[in-house]
Amino acid sequence: MKGNQTADDAVGHLFGERLEADVAPLLAAAHELKTPLAVIAYLAAALRDPSQALSDSERQTYLERISLSTERMSRLVEGFTQAYRLGSDHNQLSLLGLEPVNVMVVCEEVAHELQPLARQLDQTLIVHSRARSPLAVANRQLLTSVLMNLLDNAIKHNPPRSVVNLQVMTHGRHVRSSIQDNGAEISRHDLLRLRGRFGKELQPLSGRSHSSGLGLYIAAQLSRAMGGQLGAICHHKVGATFFADLERSAQLSLV
């Protein structure tokens, strides 16, 4: 050992290195949970306050917003737990069940689930469906979490009275599910930093307020667990498209 370093110092140093590797995603999760928790606390206080003469319609709106915030926290915690478990236990990967999945069906289900949140924020979700969607080799539960995180991110950074586009297409040997928003422009520097670093570290996006990068981190971890990858395309002046590429299945879809 160097100098007067003790065994306890050495253990503490090693523990510190491990903690430093894990603490960033945990802090980001805490950051992401702060906003919905604050919304719930504010609305619950308003509902309990006898001095506020709320109409039945207003009460219903407040309850719906509490429900949406609760669901958002649940999605975040579930996705983070899945990503952490798969990243820390390689045995989990070998047990992961992959099968042909109709990505368009999953995309439509995710859009339907997040439709109330989009309406609350005055946004429109458009799913560009196709007659026969290609199948991807995936785990349906993990794919749902990937799309949930990408769509939640898009809605969160999209301005009011704008559109989020969801599309599934064949891209070479892969099936690409993409989500395009109209949020703040992502700089070329951010895009270059994103490429090749998805899922390896948190990557907050400059220009997009309150971005911790946790949603992209989770989506990238889960995509890689299925043998796929996450990517991004920046558009001129406004908006970006985030996509997940998964291996195309040889099985044909009958839907």
Asked if residue 41 has pLDDT above 70, the reply is yes
Low-confidence winner among 29-33, 125-129, 158-162, 230-234 (lowest mean pLDDT): 29-33
Asked if residue 228 has pLDDT above 90, the reply is yes
Q: Which of 74, 20, 87 is nearest to 221 (CA)?
A: 87
Query: For the residues 226-249, what does the mean pLDDT come to?
Result: 89
Query: For the residues 50-73, what does the mean pLDDT come to?
Result: 87
Question: Model confidence over 73-120: pLDDT tens digits?
Answer: 887 787 777 776 776 554 555 556 889 999 999 999 999 888 888 888
How many Å apart are CA 149 and CA 76, to the nearest integer? Answer: 8
The residue among 59 and 17 whose pLDDT is bigger is: 59
| Among 111-120, 130-139, 149-158, 239-248, the range of highest mean pLDDT | 239-248
Question: Model confidence over 111-146: pLDDT tens digits?
Answer: 988 888 888 889 999 999 877 788 999 999 889 989
Asked if residue 9 has pLDDT above 90, the reply is no
| Among 67-76, 185-194, 218-227, the range of highest mean pLDDT | 218-227
3-state secondary structure string across 67-126 = HHHHHHHHHHHHHHHHHHHHHHCHHHHHHCCCEEEEHHHHHHHHHHHHHHHHHHCCEEEE
Q: Which of 240, 236, 150, 241 is nearest to 199 (CA)?
A: 150
Question: What burial letters (b/e) apply to 47-75, b meaning 16+ CB within 10 Å?
Answer: eeeeeeeeeeeeeeebeebbebbeebbeb
- Domains of the chain and any CATH numbers: 7-91 (1.10.287.130), 98-247 (3.30.565.10)
* pLDDT given at position 205: 64
The residue among 92 and 16 whose pLDDT is bigger is: 92
- Torsion sign (Cα): 136, 141, 142, 147: positive
Distances (CA, A) of 78 to 89, 106, 144, 166, 184: 16, 17, 11, 22, 27
